[in-house]
Amino acid sequence: MKLVMTLLVRDEQDILEDNLAFHRAMGVDAFIVTDNLSVDGTRDILRPWEQRGQLQVIDEPSDDYSQWRWVTRMARLAADEHDADWVIHADADEFWWPESGDLKTALAGVPEGCGLLHVPRNNFVVERSVVAEARSPGPRTLTLREVAERSYLGRPLAPKVCHRAHPDVIVEQGNHSVRGVDWETWSTTQPITILHYQMRGWDHFRNKIVKGGAAYARNTELAPNTGRGWRLLYERHVQGTLRDYYDEQLVSADDRAAGLAEGRYVVDRRLTDWFAAER
């Protein structure tokens, strides 16, 4: 089996190296990365991976967040040029965790008649104590996870998709579904979960919302409710209340204790322990 992962990135230097290293260790053979106007150290991280032949970089200069077009392009490249068997579509803040073995082991168990998996995400939250100690909190330091998956708006968090490679596939905005190929979805068991670090440091969060929200506003093709979370948070930026929102999401010591007691939070050290062992 050849496994290819696609990534659409913009200013992800705080987490990108960890993402690539982890997924490489979990069985990903090659990465296709679309870099959409990064101005931090993202390209410096990608360069050695590209030089080793483990990664292909696509420069995307458009600034309207046409994600579905850019990810579809990568999905088709995975089939046409990389001879992939399976394609995972991830974001830099998503770590695809196989419940046993590695990702290839997990996908090898999918019956031949099924070509599509919808993989649930689990959000990690940022504790005030971690922010005080780490400028860029992430998978090495965040261990408190929400039990109920929720989006920025508090709504149920949509799963992400991975699929068998196909040259005609179309990946929908958000990487939540595909079309263009008549696949059966495997839902009998769930061999993979996504550990999701959407909230990290303030600087990264602000940069993401400001640039992403403005890009969505420039896109005249997508429906107005697409990317609603980013759009509403961008409005908070315009209103000057985005930092208030971020601070409200930070978990205090009292919130942590209450959440654990009530079953809203669990301690999840899978990635912190994995990185500690690798180091």
Give pLDDT, residue 134.
67
pLDDT in tens, 161-203: 999 999 999 999 999 999 999 999 987 778 999 999 999 999 9
Q: H or E segment at 211?
A: helix 202-218
Cα gap 11→230, rounded to integer Å: 16
Residue 75 has pLDDT above 90, yes or no: yes
φ/ψ of residue 247, rounded to 5: -60, -35
Instruction: Give the Å distances, CA to CA, from 39 to 106, 198, 213.
Output: 36, 20, 17
CB 177 within 8 A of CB 161: yes
What count of other Cβ atoms lies within 10 Å of the Cβ of residue 181? Answer: 14
pLDDT in tens, 194-252: 999 999 999 999 999 999 999 999 999 999 889 999 999 999 999 999 999 999 999 99
Domain annotation for the chain: domains and CATH numbers: 3-201+267-278 (3.90.550)
- pLDDT level of residue 16 (50, 70, 90 thresholds): very high
Query: Per the structure block, which two tokens stand in for 158?
Result: 């949509």
Report the candidate in 256, 254, 255, 233 with the shortest Cα–Cα distance to residue 243: 233
Cα dihedral 188, 174, 274, 186, rounded to 10, equals 10
Q: What is the mean pLDDT of the chain?
A: 95
Helix boundaries (H) for 32-191: 42-51, 67-80, 103-108, 128-133
pLDDT in tens, 251-268: 999 999 999 999 999 999
Query: Per the structure block, which two tokens stand in for 14?
Result: 């705080």
pLDDT in tens, 90-140: 999 999 999 999 999 999 999 998 999 999 999 999 999 998 776 679 999
